[in-house]
């Protein structure tokens, strides 16, 4: 997660946007983890016929 925050420009933009909204670093990381979990779930779930 933290590597993504350091290297991925989309994640960095998201972090900046959320911090301007007044979110704490902890809240932002929580949201990013949830987003990453959703991405992973979509990769491993079976496709429907």
Each residue's pLDDT expressed in tens, for the chain with a length of 49 residues: 788 888 989 899 999 999 999 999 999 999 999 988 998 998 998 777 6
The whole-number pLDDT of residue 49 equals: 66
Residue with tokens 């991405």: 39
Rounded CA-CA distance 45/9 in Å is 27
Contact 1, 36 (CB under 8 A): yes
pTM score of the predicted model: 0.70
Q: Would you list the domain boundaries of the chain?
A: 2-44
């Amino acid at each position: 997660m933290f590597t993504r925050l350091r290297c991925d420009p989309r994640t960095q933009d998201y972090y900046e946007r959320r911090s301007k909204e007044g979110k704490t670093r902890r809240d932002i990381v929580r949201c990013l983890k949830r987003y990453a979990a959703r991405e992973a779930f979509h990769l491993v779930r079976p496709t429907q016929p």
